[in-house]
Amino acid sequence: MNGLRGRVAVALAAATLLSLVACTTVPITGRQQLALVPQADLAAASTDSYKEFLGESDVVTGGPGAAAVARVGEAVAGAAERFLRENGMSGDLRYYDWTFSLVRDDETANAFCMPGGRIAVYTGLLPITGDDTGLAVVVAHEVAHAIANHSGERMSHLLIAELGGIALANAIEEKPRETQELLMLAYGVGANVGVLLPYSRQHESEADRIGLTLMAMAGYDPRQAIPLWERMNEAGGAMPPEFLSTHPHPATRIEQIREHLPEALERYEGE
C-alpha cells in the first residue's frame, strides 16, 4: 500500500509541478494559462488535419461568400499580427499561417479555428452574419482563439486530467470492479463539469473579448457584435444548461460583450 501511495503522490506532484512551471499569459485578458504543449507542435499537427478536412469537404472557391471570407479574414489576421507586434509578441507570428476557407454546408451555422490560424466558415453562417461586419465578429472570435492558444491550453488540461485519472485508478485498484467503475465515472464527470467545461466557457468568453479588439483594429464596428450574437441565439434553438455547455449562455455572453465594448471602442475610434 505504501508503494501505491507513493505512485499516486508522484503522479499528483508531477501534475502540480507541470501546472506551476508551464504557464503563459493570454493577450488582453492577462490570465495565466497552462501550456504544456509547444505551439509549434500544435501548428504542425494541425496542418495535415486541416488539409484532410478540406479534402473531405465541399470548399467554395468562388462567389461573393468566399470573397467575403477571404477579405474579412485577411483584415482580421492583419490586425492580429499588428496586435502581437505592438505587445512584444512578434516571436509568436512564426506559429501562424492564416488560412480562411468557406465550406458548403447550408445547415451548419458555425466556424472553427485549428492551431496555427487555419479557419473554416460554413455557408450556413452567412445568412446570419449578413455583411462583412457580422462576419468579422465570428472571424475575429476564431482568430482570438488562435492567438490565445486555447487549443494548447485545452490539451494541457486534458493531459493533467488524464494524469489524475491514472493516479485515481492506481489508488482504487484493490477495490471491487463495480466500485472502481463508479469512482472512475464520478471522476470523469467531475473533471468534465468541474474543470474542462468551465475552461471551455472561459475560452469562449475570452475569444469574444479579444475578438472585439481585433475586429475594431481591422476597422469593423465592435458594437455590431451584440446584434450578431442575438441573431445567433435566435437561430440556435434550445441550449443545455450553462454549467453543462461549452459556451456561455447567450444572455451571459451579451452581458460580457457589453462590459468589454468600451475597451474595443477605444481602438475602433482611434484607428
What percentage of residues in the chain have a pLDDT greater than 70? 68
Task: Say whether pLDDT at 99 is over 90.
Answer: yes
Range with the poorest average pLDDT among 14-28, 115-129, 137-151: 14-28
* C-alpha span between 134 and 127 (Å, rounded): 10
Lowest-confidence segment of 116-130, 174-188, 257-271 by average pLDDT: 174-188
Q: What one-character DSSP code corresponds to residue 234?
A: H
CA atoms within 13 A on the CB side of 113: 27
Going from the C-alpha of 204 to that of each of 34, 58, 146, 181, 257, the distances in angstroms are: 16, 27, 12, 32, 11
Helix and strand numbers, DSSP H then E, in the chain = 10, 6
* pLDDT value at residue 137: 95
Q: Any idea which residue has 516571436 for its cell?
A: 91
Is residue 148 pLDDT above 60, yes or no? yes
Q: Taking the CA atoms of the chain, what radius of gyration do you get in angstroms?
A: 21
DSSP β-ladder status, 99-103 and 118-122: parallel
**pLDDT cut 90: percent of the chain above it:** 37
52, 56, 81, 142: the active-site residue: 142
Q: What is the pLDDT of residue 246?
A: 53
Nearest partner of 33 among 261, 170, 203, 165, judged by Cα:
203
Each residue of 181-210: pLDDT tens digit?
544 444 344 434 343 444 477 788 889 999
Structural domain boundaries in the chain: 32-152+196-270
Dist CA 271 CA 263 (whole Å): 13
User: H or E stretch including 115?
Assistant: none
Q: Among this protein's residues, is 142 annotated catalytic?
A: yes
Cβ atoms 139, 119 nearer than 8 A: yes
Q: Tell me, what DSSP letter sits at residue 192? A: I
C-alpha cell at 62: 468562388
Between the two ends of the chain, the Cα-to-Cα distance in Å is: 65
Q: What is the SS3 assignment for 29?
A: coil
Residue 207: which residues within 8 A CB-CB, separation 6 or more?
A: 141, 142, 144, 145, 148, 150
Q: Which pLDDT band, with edges at 50, 70 and 90, does 235 fall under?
A: confident
pLDDT at position 175 is 55
- More confident of the two residues 146 and 18: 146
The number of C-alpha atoms within 13 Å of 192 and in the hemisphere containing its C-beta is 9
By CB neighbour count within 10 A (0-12 exposed, 13-18 middle, 19+ buried), where does 171 fall?
A: middle
- Strand-pair partners of 24: 33
Find the mean pLDDT for residues 238-264.
Answer: 72
Instruction: List, for residues 2-12, the tens digit of each pLDDT value.
Output: 444 444 444 44
pLDDT tens for 62-84 read 999 999 999 999 999 999 999 99
